[in-house]
Amino acid sequence: MNIFYDIPSENWYHTEENAELFAGAAVEEISYKKDHLNQPLIPITVFPGNRMLVVGILTASNPKKESGLGGNLTLFRDLSSFLLKHGILTFAFTGNALHSETLRGYVFSSISNKWIECKMPLPDIVYNRIPSRGYEASEEFQRLITHLKEYRMNLFNPCFLDKYVMFEALMEDGSLTNHLPPTMILRNSYCLDAFLETHRHIYLKPCKGSQGKGIYTIIKNHDDTLLFNSLKHSESFPDFTSFWETKKKDLLKRSYLAQQAISPKKLLGHRYDYRILVHYEKGFYKVTGKAVRMSQTQEITTHTPQGGKLFPYQNLQSRSLNLKLANIAQKCGEILSKKVGFLGEFSIDIGEDETGSLFIYEVNSKPMQFDEEEIEVNRLLHLKNLFIELTFSNLKIK
């Protein structure tokens, strides 16, 4: 059975006479239509059965883009094309789309190589790829969540993760304590001064930052002078007081945490981190991709937008390392899903110190695309399987 979208009538039809087909959270019926010879816009093959899975990719609007969609359109295109090939009707939409009587979204057409606006069934799964933390904190987004629950649409990954909320949740559980660098929330000069006196070399990280933006390091020397490093420059201060008077405005206008800097193991003279991709699968959190990022132009962060370089994971892997990463992934998934809601997909940035100990730097509930093609291929496959599992099994997202 094939289905196609008829532009003049703005309806989806299937092509098998005397067959029934239902789609989406509202189990809407897709009708049969004999005549579909008018160059159907988006033909897809439905997997066996009379119930078609519908996935909506939730993003923000961007008037500057031709489609009007914001976010990672390359990921949306790849995921949409892959799912359509496997009989899963997939589209991208914004929160505003649910305020009208009919849901309108955008389906990627490989024929015309662009996003086409269509009238859509309510999705079974809403894959949250909102690119803005600000929008997720808005009343409009909260109303959207209420709307999704009313229509029993499963929200896949509820929100961005706050670095300090992540740290508190993992610390409170206790099972990953050995993998957490000492960390505190930056509230005033007194707590930062004491933390710096204890640890001497620390990181300052935005609790709601990403890609290494806004990260600094501070080194307290033996003579109590301070060296302050950003991604682009360094500054020296004669003491903590002079540092605080210069930087307090920037550090207090957004939420920062302070974290002890580990002494990183190095490759070719540069620090490196592990980046692992994780997906839920039948009760477990499974590592589905492993990568390494190595610093180049600066030694503060390994993120590729900040000059980091790819390094083959297989050159460092061992059975012991694989088991450690698998354990960290499983525990992070369990703990954080209890804290913020079901996480079906996330990535973890993990550092390694000179002794071989592993430290969790960040958990990202909206992973960017990996540069490693094999990881992205694996990602699409696991997302497809998980969307099917969430819709057609007894697993309920809370």
- Top pLDDT among 91 and 149 is at 91
- Top pLDDT among 134 and 318 is at 318
In whole angstroms, how far apart are CA 166 and each of 170, 173, 174, 300, 338?
A: 6, 11, 13, 21, 11
When pLDDT is averaged across residues 255-274 and rounded to a whole number, the result is 90
**pLDDT of the residue at 218:** 94
- CA angle, corner 136, sides to 134 and 138, nearest 5? 75
212 band by pLDDT with thresholds 50, 70 and 90: low
Does 183-260 carry CATH code 3.30.1490? yes
- CA gyration radius for the chain? 24
Q: What is the pLDDT of residues 64-81, one digit of tens each?
A: 887 789 899 999 999 999
**pLDDT of the residue at 54:** 94
**pLDDT of the residue at 398:** 47
> For the chain, what percent of residues have pLDDT higher than 70?
90
Give CATH for domain 2-156.
Answer: 3.40.50
Q: What is the pLDDT of residues 335-388, one digit of tens each?
A: 999 999 999 999 999 999 999 999 999 999 999 999 999 999 999 999 999 999
- Top pLDDT among 232 and 223 is at 223
**pLDDT of the residue at 182:** 95
Segments making up each domain of the chain, as ranges: 2-156, 163-179+264-392, 183-260
**pLDDT of the residue at 211:** 64
| pLDDT of 213 above 80 | no
Q: What is the pLDDT of residues 141-196, one digit of tens each?
A: 888 888 888 878 888 998 999 999 999 999 999 999 999 999 999 999 999 999 99
| pLDDT of 268 above 90 | no
When pLDDT is averaged across residues 2-21 and rounded to a whole number, the result is 86
Average pLDDT, the chain: 88
| pLDDT of 269 above 90 | no
**pLDDT of the residue at 179:** 97
Tokens of 70: 């914001």
- The three-state DSSP-derived secondary structure of the chain is CEEEEECCCCEEEECCCCCCEEECCCCEEEEECCCCCCCCCCCEECCCCCEECEEEEEECECCCCCCCECCCHHHHHHHHHHHHHCCCEEEEEEHHHHHCCCEEEEEEECCCCEEEEEEECCCCEEEECCCCHHHHCCHHHHHHHHHHHHCCCEEECCCCCCHHHHHHHHHHHCCCHHHCCCEEECCCHHHHHHHHHHHCEEEEEECCCCCCCCCEEEEECCCCCEEEECCCCEEEECCHHHHHHHHHHHHHCCCEEEEECCCECEECCEEEEEEEEEEEECCEEEEEEEEEEECCCCCCCCCHHHCCEEECHHHCCCHHHHHHHHHHHHHHHHHHHHHHCCCCEEEEEEEEECCCCEEEEEEECCCCCCCCHHHHHHHHHHHHHHHHHHHHCCCCCC
Q: Are 72 and 131 within 8 A, CB to CB? A: yes
Q: Which range scores top for mean pLDDT: 110-119, 151-160, 251-260?
A: 251-260
Give CATH for domain 163-179+264-392.
Answer: 3.30.470.20
| pLDDT of 39 above 80 | no
When pLDDT is averaged across residues 109-121 and rounded to a whole number, the result is 88
**pLDDT of the residue at 37:** 64
**pLDDT of the residue at 146:** 86
| pLDDT of 397 above 60 | no
How many CB atoms within 10 Å of residue 385? Answer: 15
When pLDDT is averaged across residues 214-234 and rounded to a whole number, the result is 90
